[in-house]
Amino acid sequence: MVTKRFLFACILILLAGLPILAGCAGSSTSSSSGGLKAGPGVDLNKKTITLGILSPYSGPVAGPVGIPIANGVKAFFYHVNDHGGINGFKVQFIEQDTQYSPQLEVQKYNQIRNQVLMIADSLGTQPTFAIKDLAAADHMLVSAATLSSALAREKYLILVGTPYRLQVENAFDYVVNKLGVKNPATAIIYQNDDYGQDGLTGYREAVSVYHLHDVAQVSFAVNDTDFTAQVAQLKASGAKYVFMTTLPTATATIIATAYKLGYNPQWILQSPAFSIQLLAVPALKPLISRAWVVSQGAAWGDTSVPGMAQMLQDQAKYFPKQQPDGYFEFGYAESYVTYAILKKAMDNGDLTRDGLFRAFESLQSVDMGGLLPPAHYGSTPDQRVPTRDSVIYQVDATQPAGVKPISSDFTGVAAQQSHF
Amino acid sequence: MAYFLQLVFAGAAQGCIYALIGLGFSIIFKASQVINFAQGELLLVGTYVVASAVLNWHLPFLLALPLGLLVTIVIGLLFERLVLRRMIGRPPFTVLMITIGLDIILRTLVIVGWGSRTIPAATPFAITSGFNVAGVHLGSSDLWTLGVTVVLCAALYYFFRHTRYGLAMRATALDQEAALAMGIDVRNVYALAWGLAAAITTLGGVLLAIDSLAIDPNFGNAALVAFPAIILGGLDSVSGAVVGGVIIGLTSVLTAGYESRLPAVVGTGLHEVTPYLIMILILMIRPYGLFGSRKVERV
């Protein structure tokens, strides 16, 4: 006899299986038309290419990072579509909210894996690394919105920009070789996770190459709310230059605590440590305005680089409410690489995932309109680090994005030598 | 020595904040045997309201603070009245899951209302306000935190010992059925506990935000750090929450201040686990915490 409980269990199983069935329905094996081989996510009849975006659209990371980057990616391809597409193919997206959670990232990836040709944007080191083995098994290229050095060792993950580790090395190259400070007393304060460890690795390499007088390496937990102990250590160490591998809220508290304790070193911020929102904190504004940020690329509104005017036009047209934001710019710049891969694969007549991978490995160089320096790609981990240069910016509340460059674009000695 | 004293001062101030947050947990648990996992988000909402009142509506801090307290008190009372009152007699696990639901709802409301970006916190002090004694900086915000905690503890002591409602709460905590038989309105006691806990936790959050300068929707996670404090103090002990908070604050800051002198294998991140190590150690010796009530059952 069929019980209610049994029926309920059957319904549950069916419901659980629906996403899998939906995924299978969307899957397609390779097909070809007019000499063009096509893989999942490519519709040769409708001439569309479907790409995935795995990004936080809700939760704390969504507003400051996830949504601006995704908007940048979409603005780039909306422009491409409005100008005829890629050899007549229009690009469309399946967007999934990962909430910056590795578990959700895996779940969402599995939902769309048979419906997309590649992932055009995957935000965050830990979420992206959660899908790396799945992506490798699917031969799926993933454009990652993170600058973790570890990406270089994964052949299906695309790194766009100079890794965190090299940012630290370039920052101290600036101090030693550009400013001419010999054996400066230096320290690092870093959060105790993968991101912080990447910064710490770069710091240790910089200490060795530039003969820095390393006086403190101080860590904190992501959930820490009081930094008196860490700042007291930095103060006691006498560090004159302190590198911060932190996130914006911790940056604010650390700098304020140091000021309270009468400690005012030269703060150097890893790119994610700064947010223009920090300049909205009245008490912090004068303190953080002394800080440097190590990052790269053109400052928002710098129309001396060829890609800026187009990006600003596209932002105004497709996302008029988007404020000046380095993360939007990153997403837009990231898409130059995705576009180059798709274009090359199409020119090769192979829009399958393996075709995309071959196109990626043979890209050599991608011009990103000056928004980021030209990226270079190859097949070894060292070659998968696309750029090794940085720009040092001064925090400046008068600038649209809150920073202005104080150095040219350069690659330090340590960054040139680093192996991945 | 100045270095050590600076850490002790910071640790004591930090501990007082944990104590205030922990008091919120303890008061609710003592009255209703419910562990309120939404305590962190009550703190979050209150802190955001105070920040908005000061920065957007341009209210003075001393008006904004009661407004923030009022909002969280109302949330606490409504939750108790509309949801928890219907759950009396249900399994504790069900009630616990409901508080987790409230936690998620409140955090989502904050993100919808204020966005997920970092925003400035409200502060009545300049960053450097305070004074220096023998090389130790005594910041105004930390001094206020210590002062507020001491005054609040004294007020709570008086409330529980010498007021009608305080005695009613103690009686209800001791034996709910006997309290009912003595004519105590247990429902009002629950409501009072939720309102009181929401206000005290919010106060802790606002004091914490003054030091942080900036807040984001993760700010409510601070309540998680207070959790070992109330466990080691004794979950149903108000005085235990205070002592536990100060112990956790002091050990956490002192460990963070000296861990770099230890070999990296042991030292890195040691302050993150110290509160839990102490909690385990104390629970091994006193399973109900330092001041927790020992449950005796007749079999």
Question: Residue A270 maps to which CATH number?
Answer: 3.40.50.2300
What's the pLDDT score for residue B189? Answer: 87
Q: How confident is the model at residue A28 (pLDDT cuts 50, 70, 90)?
A: very low
Residues A90 and A178 reside in one and the same domain: no
pLDDT, greater one: A22 or A172: A172
Mean pLDDT computed over B66-90: 88
Mean pLDDT computed over B79-87: 85
Q: Which domain holds residue A107?
A: 38-162+300-387
The domain segmentation of chain B, as residue ranges, is: 1-285
Q: How confident is the model at residue B171 (pLDDT cuts 50, 70, 90)?
A: confident
**Which of B213, B224, B256 faces A281 most closely, judged by CB atoms?**
B213
pLDDT surpassing 60 at residue A22: no
Task: Report residue B215: phi and psi, to 5°.
Answer: -130, 155
* Weakest mean pLDDT among A1-15, B53-67, B199-213: A1-15
What's the pLDDT score for residue A170? Answer: 97
Is A280's CB within 8 Å of B130's CB? Answer: no
Residues A361 and A330 reside in one and the same domain: yes
What's the pLDDT score for residue A2? Answer: 47
CB-based contacts of B89: which residues, under 8 Å, 6+ apart?
none
Q: How confident is the model at residue A8 (pLDDT cuts 50, 70, 90)?
A: low
Mean pLDDT computed over A323-331: 90
ipTM of the complex: 0.76
Residues A74 and A214 reside in one and the same domain: no
A393 within domain boundaries: no
**For chain B, percent of residues with pLDDT exceeding 70:** 98
* Weakest mean pLDDT among A80-84, A118-122, B155-159: B155-159
A1 within domain boundaries: no
Residue type, A66: G
**For chain B, percent of residues with pLDDT exceeding 90:** 33
Q: What DSSP string runs through A24-79?
A: HHH----EEETTEEE-TTEETTTTEEEEEEEE-SSSTTIIIIIHHHHHHHHHHHHH
What's the pLDDT score for residue B269? Answer: 76
Q: Which residues of A touch B (CB under 8 A)?
A: 58-64, 192, 216-221, 223-226, 228-230, 232-233, 236, 248-249, 252-253, 256-257, 259-262, 275, 277-278, 280-284, 287
Residues A263 and A308 reside in one and the same domain: no
pLDDT surpassing 50 at residue A19: no
Kindly report the average pLDDT of chain A as a whole number. Answer: 89
What's the pLDDT score for residue A12? Answer: 54
A220 within domain boundaries: yes
The residues facing A351 across adjacent strands are A38
Tell me the per-residue pLDDT of A200-230, one tens digit each, with 9 for 90 and over.
999 999 999 999 999 999 999 877 888 999 9
CB-based contacts of A332: which residues, under 8 Å, 6+ apart?
A72, A73, A75, A76, A311, A314, A315, A371
Residues A157 and A83 reside in one and the same domain: yes
Four-residue CA torsion sign, A15, A16, A20, A23 = positive
Q: What's the rounded Cα separation, in Å, for the pair A201 and A224?
A: 22
What's the pLDDT score for residue A21? Answer: 43
Mean pLDDT computed over A327-351: 95
Residues A116 and A127 reside in one and the same domain: yes
What's the pLDDT score for residue A266? Answer: 97
pLDDT, greater one: A383 or A335: A335
| Chain A residues within 8 A of B117 when measuring between CB atoms | 63-64, 275, 277
Mutate to test the interface with B, among A226, A269, A276 (most CBs of B within 10 A): A226
pLDDT surpassing 50 at residue A23: no
pLDDT surpassing 80 at residue B264: no
Residues A174 and A83 reside in one and the same domain: no
| Chain B residues within 8 A of A254 when measuring between CB atoms | none
Residues A178 and A288 reside in one and the same domain: yes
| Chain A residues within 8 A of B118 when measuring between CB atoms | 64, 248-249, 252, 275, 277-278
Mutate to test the interface with B, among A225, A231, A328 (most CBs of B within 10 A): A225
pTM of the shown model: 0.80
Mutate to test the interface with B, among A260, A279, A290 (most CBs of B within 10 A): A260
**Which of A59, A219, A236 faces B3 most closely, judged by CB atoms?**
A236
B208 touches chain A (CB under 8 A): yes
The residues facing A390 across adjacent strands are A410
Mean pLDDT computed over B26-45: 88
| Chain A residues within 8 A of B206 when measuring between CB atoms | none
Residues A120 and A198 reside in one and the same domain: no
Residue type, A48: T
What's the pLDDT score for residue A14? Answer: 52
Task: Report residue A147: phi and psi, to 5°.
Answer: -110, 30
pLDDT surpassing 90 at residue A1: no
Alpha helices in A160-244 (DSSP H): 164-173, 194-210, 228-237
A355 within domain boundaries: yes
A63 within domain boundaries: yes
> B1-285 is classed in which CATH architecture?
Orthogonal Bundle (1.10)
What's the pLDDT score for residue A254? Answer: 94
pLDDT surpassing 70 at residue A34: no
Q: What's the rounded Cα separation, in Å, for the pair B246 and B252?
A: 10
Size of interface A-B (CB pairs under 8 A): 129
What's the pLDDT score for residue B297? Answer: 62
B52 touches chain A (CB under 8 A): no
Kindly report the average pLDDT of chain B as a whole number. Answer: 87
pLDDT surpassing 80 at residue A30: no
Number of compact structural domains in chain A: 2
Residues A202 and A141 reside in one and the same domain: no
B69 CA to chain A: closest CA distance, Å?
A: 21
Q: Three-state SS across B90-139?
A: CCHHHHHHHHHHHHHHHHHHHHHHHCCCCEECCCCCCCCCEEEECCEEEE
Number of alpha helices (DSSP H) and beta strands (DSSP E) in chain A: 14, 18
* Weakest mean pLDDT among A12-26, A148-162, A388-402, B243-257: A12-26
* Weakest mean pLDDT among A25-34, A113-122, A410-419, B69-78: A25-34
Mean pLDDT computed over B94-118: 87
Mean pLDDT computed over A161-171: 96
Tell me the per-residue pLDDT of A236-277, one tens digit each, with 9 for 90 and over.
899 999 999 998 888 988 999 998 888 999 999 999 899 887
Residues A50 and A143 reside in one and the same domain: yes
Mean pLDDT computed over A106-118: 96
What's the pLDDT score for residue B125? Answer: 82
Q: What's the rounded Cα separation, in Å, for the pair A186 and A213?
A: 6
pLDDT surpassing 90 at residue B293: no
Alpha-carbon distances, residue B80 vs A122, A311, B39, B109, B261 (angstroms): 41, 52, 13, 19, 49
Is A277's CB within 8 Å of B119's CB? Answer: yes
Residues A253 and A229 reside in one and the same domain: yes
Q: What's the rounded Cα separation, in Å, for the pair A233 and A230?
A: 5
What's the pLDDT score for residue A118? Answer: 97
Q: How confident is the model at residue A10 (pLDDT cuts 50, 70, 90)?
A: low
Q: Which residue of B has its CA nearest to A65?
A: B117
Four-residue CA torsion sign, A225, B260, A295, A407 = positive
